[in-house]
A and B are shown apart, each in its own frame.
Chain A
Amino acid sequence: MAGEPLLAVEHLRVEFPTRHGTLVAVDDVSLGIAPGEVLGVVGESGAGKSLTGAAVIGLIDPPGRIGAGEVWLAGRRIDNLPPEALRRVRGREIGAVFQDPLTSLNPLYTIGRQIVETMTTHLDLSSSAARKRALELLAEVGIPAPTRRFDHFPHQFSGGMRQRVVIALALAANPKLIIADEPTTALDVSIQAQIIALLKRLCREHRTAVMLITHDMGVIAETADRVAVMYAGRIAEIGPVADVIHRPRHPYTRGLMGSIPSIVAEREELAQIDGSMPRLTAIPPGCAFHPRCPRVFDRCRRERPELMPAGATDAACWLVV
């Protein structure tokens, strides 16, 4: 990674206290994102990728809590800010795009009003200047006839158009970082392609850093500069996207890549990782992947591997030692 990271997450731990003990959903995750960089975070359901994103914007719902670790944004620690200060960071410095565009918009307000409100809350703008800028923004995210659409309600938009509005909303206050959690999962492929291209272009033009959380490796391959692969709450491998996809070092990443059907390659059998990800209540000791790992050996069952440099990537696996 070049230069000072804009976002630095250090040894983050997200936990949920329950009657039967504390569940650790995100465990010792460290990562950084440079300005203008897209970091992909992939993993299967329950890997902790969304919680990592939620922890960065301070949106972990109680009883969940950040158990340890620090989140730094542009040289300022933000995980321990009081709620009111955190609210100003959220929206002003960090924008968020979630999976379901319908639930991220207020159905009772016109989209124009929602964007203007975000701007006047976070920026020192008069409402007429905000309106002008909102119209520019809507045009920029590809909403046809923004002047007419400005006074429409969310239900009057299609899914793809709604997601564009949400992106406009996330960009409204010119944030330095956008957390995009499964932004294209609810959309059809042709719309998904448009939204990916849009996100990519906007972050290049605005030098916004993006944390792109998704389960879709194809989307990551098209969009991200670097990628972190998560498994059972920890980062299994992190590195430049081409290396992680084409030269993965961690057996989980390898299995994951081999299990994805392709429209280019001819394959009789898909690679198969037997079993499924452990539940949070029963994370195996040692390396969490060892019960499913084809190359498991004694040390994996006893000791937990930390991320270690392995070629171009960092992998948490004893094989790379």
Chain B
Amino acid sequence: MKSAVAPSAGSPLVELVGVARYFDVSPPWLNRLVEHKPRVLLKAVDGVTLSIAQGETLGLVGESGCGKSTVARLIVGLYRPTRGEIRYAGKRIDANGASRSARREMQMIFQDPYASLNPRWRVADIVAEPLLAAPDHQRPARREIEARVGALLEQVGLVRGDGSKFPHQFSGGQRQRISIARALAGKPRFLVCDEPTSALDVSVQAQVLNLMHRLQRELGLTLLFISHNLAVVHHIADRVGVMYLGRIVEVAPTKTLFADPQHPYTRMLLAAVPDLALTGKARTAVTGEVPNPLDPPRGCAFHPRCPHANERCHREVPLLKPVRRAQASSGEAACHAVEEGRIGLSVVTPGDRSSDIPSV
């Protein structure tokens, strides 16, 4: 399949500009009328600006309800944005009648491999479906489809003969491989993976992560990888975005983000992750919980849990701004305290990680 636009390395493939998605979760009309209940809007995603470069893996992390899955669904077009623009290879794809060829270049892999495969279809039919969905003149002949499905199954570590089986004959990890084969069938350039390994056991997760890593290198795919597991994102992503209550609070290259987190929420998250290397060490105390997204705090949504919050944080929503570090353009954070230099001081001691010495 030909690309909509010729790729150029490093240029953004996917761009989100001020994208928001609100859900109307109001009580039924009658309750509103009789009990005078107001309309209620859930701001699942509230102004996300993001770009994913050609060939890169962007990880998106955050706790449940932060809107990371909604971002994924907005990009692939399962939801329409309430406002904002989504561009793919420079073209808007959020509007009516957006180019179908752009949509065909993106595929999605879902979390639950038990729910995302039709139990009544044979694996070969499942994997072939994106090929059959191609427009008439591009649809390959039957023989070609069979050959292609066999090759895809082998590519993800299954055997050709598995095509005649049904999904229930496979384990969770194998099913996720089938999902990956199906996603790759249409030769996509861009894959959206929403928690693809969260339902899997660790040893199987390692198999799937290694497979995705290999495929990305071989096929030059661009990946949006969504997970609540920071260690998984650390392993697979080139750049990481951290979400909190519908907004991105920090974006940085993976190494920088994990070595020198800026936003207090990122610091808290990293401190909270249990890790094998930390045996016996006391962890930083974490306080508070994610607030109700129906009634988010004013100003910075993180201020009730933030040790650095001041009066400005209660009042004003912080915007994503570049963080001053030694290297140019090495990340952005949405935090007044970081911007004002109140907590600009890095947690990394100088000389500890020479490549990441902060300038502040």
Contact = CB atoms under 8 A, between A and B. Distances in A.
A219 interface: yes
Interface string B4-19: 0000000000000000
B269 A215 contact: no
A261 B210 CA distance: 11
A272 B234 contact: no
Contact of B275 (A44, A191, A262, A276): A262
Interface centre among B202, B210, B232, B234 (most CB of A within 10 A): B202
A226 to B, nearest CB: 12
A83 B271 CA distance: 45
Interface stretch (A26-34, A93-101, A107-115, A263-271): A263-271
Interface in B165-199: 171, 173-174
Contacts of B235: 261-262, 267, 270
B234 A217 contact: no
A258 to B, nearest CB: 8
27 contacts: A44-B203, A188-B63, A188-B228, A190-B286, A191-B286, A194-B286, A215-B201, A215-B202, A218-B274, A221-B274, A221-B275, A241-B279, A245-B279, A246-B279, A257-B276, A259-B203, A261-B231, A262-B275, A262-B276, A263-B230, A263-B273, A265-B277, A269-B210, A270-B206, A272-B207, A273-B203, A276-B174
A147 to B, nearest CB: 20
Interface residues of A, number: 45
A218 B206 contact: no
Nearest to A222: B274
B258 interface: yes
A121 interface: no
Given A188-B228, A261-B234, A276-B171, A193 B210 contact: no
A255 interface: yes
B82 interface: no
Interface of B: 63-64, 171, 173-174, 201-207, 209-210, 213, 228-232, 234-236, 258, 268-280, 283, 285-290
Interface SS majority for chain B: helix
A197 B283 contact: yes
A262 B203 contact: no
A191 B270 CA distance: 13
Contact of B231 (A263, A274, A277): A263
A189 B290 CA distance: 11
B289 A158 contact: yes
Contacts of B63: 188-190
A160 interface: yes
B205 to A, nearest CB: 7
A192 interface: yes
A296 interface: no
A158 to B, nearest CB: 6
